[in-house]
């Protein structure tokens, strides 16, 4: 896969348009269609997207995302996309839909086909949409494919729905719509080692700034260390029983694991929220609760086996 950080000429592309935050199940239909059309027409598939969320420019507010740009590019590569063109939204935010179509899409890519989701918009004041692309397909000689809403258990798969579920800590349903487990990653840093003194050593990372923040609490997670997967208990927030600090922490106790991994990059996938953060009267009560948290993991693993299996083959 080739990544372009500016406009470049890629003749006769099969285009997929969108920001694709999360690359959820609906997004993957858009990408797959662009790839299939490219193969049928002996050409290349190209994603046209943006380096940062358009709302960062339109609202002047930092939008938390489901995936970082690096994550998104890694996943797109695994789908089989040939090219990704990353545009700076600020440079085209005021461009009218017709100008964007003619001066960008047609001029640089002369597309054999364009694929979008059902709710894709572009151009100043969102004047470009599926109807606009459909009306212009004969004029510019491209095929147009509008992917209809992708529905899972009566829920339309969309970034807004998934974001709401993540903000609620509902990973069971959010992960279903994503088609994989919501995750964060980072390098293990030195913590205060308070958890180790309790008998439950933890790995600390910095929660990625650009990612959606989950509610403060304790979570059942899966941790990938050096390509090996382990169950874990993650605490995100504060440590009110052992530390009155107001600094947020992201620390995970990896079950059945005792290695020095300072400086190593780990991936943490969220499975379920176990409980809210709690302040205990003493350390012994905290340790007893951690023991119950670990028991929750064993119980929930059996629940998942009977309800939902994730495939790790794609990502």
Domains within the chain, CATH numbers bracketed: 2-149 (3.40.50.620), 181-307 (2.40.30.30)
* Stretch 38-48: mean pLDDT: 97
Instruction: Name the DSSP class of 128.
Output: B
Token pair for 264: 């190593």
Neighbours of 213 (CB within 10 A): 15
Between these two residues, 144 and 152, which has the higher pLDDT value?
144
The four Cα atoms 77, 43, 89, 93 give a dihedral, to 10 degrees, of -150
pLDDT, averaged across the chain: 89
* Stretch 153-169: mean pLDDT: 92
C-alpha R_g of the chain: 22
What pLDDT, on a 0 to 100 scale, did the predictor assign at position 305?
65
| Residue pair 212/166 in contact by the 8 Å Cβ criterion | yes
Residue 58's φ and ψ, nearest 5 degrees, are: -70, -30
* Stretch 174-178: mean pLDDT: 95
Q: pLDDT-based confidence at 243, cuts 50/70/90?
A: low
| Residue pair 185/208 in contact by the 8 Å Cβ criterion | yes
pTM: 0.89
What pLDDT, on a 0 to 100 scale, did the predictor assign at position 23?
96
Residue 120 has pLDDT above 60, yes or no: yes
Residue 140 has pLDDT above 90, yes or no: yes
* Stretch 191-202: mean pLDDT: 64
Q: Cα(214)–Cα(162) distance, rounded to whole angstroms?
A: 12
Residue 159 has pLDDT above 50, yes or no: yes
Q: Cα(60)–Cα(219) distance, rounded to whole angstroms?
A: 32
């Amino acid at each position: 896969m080739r990544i372009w950080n500016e406009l470049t000429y890629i003749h006769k592309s099969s285009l997929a348009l969108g920001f694709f935050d999360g690359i959820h199940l609906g997004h993957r239909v858009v990408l797959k269609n662009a790839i299939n059309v490219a193969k049928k027409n002996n050409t290349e598939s190209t994603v046209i997207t943006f380096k940062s969320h358009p709302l960062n420019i339109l609202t002047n507010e930092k939008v938390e995302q489901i995936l970082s740009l690096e994550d998104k590019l890694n996943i797109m590569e695994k789908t089989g996309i040939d090219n990704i063109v990353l545009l700076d939204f600020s440079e085209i935010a005021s461009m009218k839909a017709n100008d964007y179509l003619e001066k960008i899409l047609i001029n640089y890519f002369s597309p054999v086909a364009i694929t979008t989701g059902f709710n894709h918009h572009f151009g100043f004041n969102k004047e470009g949409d599926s109807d606009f692309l459909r009306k212009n397909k004969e004029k510019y000689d491209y095929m147009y494919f509008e992917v209809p809403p992708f529905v899972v258990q009566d829920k339309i798969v969309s970034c807004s729905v998934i974001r709401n579920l993540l903000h609620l800590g509902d990973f069971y349903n959010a992960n279903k719509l994503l088609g994989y487990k919501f995750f964060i990653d980072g390098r293990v840093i030195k913590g205060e080692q308070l958890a180790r003194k309790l008998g439950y050593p933890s790995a600390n990372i910095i929660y990625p700034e650009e990612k959606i923040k989950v509610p403060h609490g304790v979570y059942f997670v899966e941790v990938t260390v050096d390509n090996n997967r382990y169950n874990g208990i993650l605490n995100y927030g504060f440590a009110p029983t052992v530390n009155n600090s107001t600094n947020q922490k992201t620390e995970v106790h990896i079950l059945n694991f005792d290695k020095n991994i300072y400086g190593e990059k780990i991936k943490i996938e969220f499975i379920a929220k176990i409980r809210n953060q709690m302040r205990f009267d003493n350390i012994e009560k905290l340790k007893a609760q951690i023991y119950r948290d670990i028991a929750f993991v064993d119980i929930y693993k059996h629940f998942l086996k009977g309800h939902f299996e994730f495939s790790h083959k794609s990502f």
